Structure formats: structure tokens, C-alpha cells
Amino acid sequence: MTQARVGVVVALLSEAKALGLRHPQPGANEVDGLRVFVSGIGEAAAAMAALALADAGCCALLSFGTAGALDAALQPGDVVCPTTVLFMDGHQLDTDAGWRARLAACCADADISLVDGRLLTTRQTLLNAGIKYLAHTQSQAVAVDQESSAVGDVAKARGLPFLVVRAIVDDAEATLPNAVIDGVDAYGRPKAASMIGGLLKAPWQIAKLPGLARSFNAAQASLREVARAAPAFAFHS
């Protein structure tokens, strides 16, 4: 009997590539025993993706991709597999402890460390160190993303195990250039005119680009390593 597939929600096409998809498309994709839905950025898009995966018969839901650090100890490329996801309205949802333990064991065998703790989901990107510090102080979360709470809500409603794997791109002290945020679409595809226009308005942002590219590459490399170390993210015992 064929096992039902794990459903993976990713926001960006680049995050889907870390799972082994060479030419991912927005919407549903399949690779290596996973059903991957590229949702676009944000809670509403992630909720629609998670519902589609649940309706397709997936046996569990995983929120996968990149995140920003709130804990100053985290660096680009560190991988967070949180015990708890915090919502903007103050409530929280625990991830599946057994699944998380199996994934951690597989990663440890491959010499990959996973960071636990809390993950905060927000509706907007936290652009600078001051905002991140405030979010960390109020929530005690180690990292932040924009999709995991929505995936968790669907998993809870459907009675499905839920897990999060997020690699850090920007550390707690990093300032993200507005030109980059505004210069990509919801799937992470560049909008050249918007990016160039933003850089022309604030040329200081250009100096931030090489470091941001290195950080993004470190996060992508870590996501690929986790995906290789644990087929189907070690969901099946």
C-alpha cells in the first residue's frame, strides 16, 4: 500500500528548488515522495495552499523555507525547527513532537543541528534590528516568518501532524533593503524595474546586496542539506 504523501507549503520558488524541484511552478508540484505547494508570500496564500494539500489527501503538513532571526545567537544558514508557533493575536500552536524528534535524529546523523524554541509569524517583513528586538522581547521567539501559523491552523483543523523547518537568511542585526523586498513578486521572482527604481532612490542599499546574497545562499544550502538528510522529512517512522 502506497503511503500518503507529506504536504509541504513553501512561499517562494527558490525554496521549492531546495527540495530538488528543478523547475517548480506556482501551485502544486511533486518530488521525491512529497507534494509541494508553492503558495506565494503571506498567511492567506499559505492557508489556501495548506487546504489544497489537505484536500489532496496529504498525511501531514510541513511549513518549509526561510526565516529571519530574532535571537541574536542565530546566523544565516542556521536551521530552526520550532516546538511552538506564535500567532499575532497571542495564541500558539505546538508542532508534532514525535515528528520533530525523528527529523532531529536524522539531521544529527548528518551532522546538522536544528534549533528549537518558538517561531513568530507576522503579517509584514521585519525590516530592521529595532523592530526585531522588540518582537523578540515581547514574544521570546527565536525567529520569524510569514506563513507557518496559517499552515498550522489548517493542520489543527484537519487533525494532521504539523512541523516547521526554516533556515535563517537575515540575522537579528540585519537591515533588509526595501528595494529587494519591493523588487520581487509574491513567489520571489525579480521585478527588475521596481528593484532598479528602488536602488536609484536609495543607492546606499546597493552595498547591502552582496551580503544578503551570501546569506540567502547559506540558507538555501542548509535547506538542501536537511531535505537530503531526511527523506520525506522523517515523517514515516
Span 94-147, pLDDT tens digits: 999 999 999 999 999 999 999 999 999 998 888 888 999 999 999 999 999 999
pTM recorded for the entire structure: 0.92
- Residue-wise pLDDT for 22-66, tens only, equals 999 999 999 988 999 999 999 999 999 999 999 999 999 999 999
- The CA distances from residue 127 to 52, 66, 134, in Å, are 31, 15, 12
Top-confidence residue, 204 or 166: 166
Percent with pLDDT over 70 in the chain: 93
Instruction: Write down all domains in the chain, each with its CATH number in brackets.
Output: 6-177+220-234 (3.40.50.1580)
Task: Report the C-alpha gap between 98 and 111 in whole angstroms.
Answer: 20
Task: Report the C-alpha gap between 99 and 91 in whole angstroms.
Answer: 22
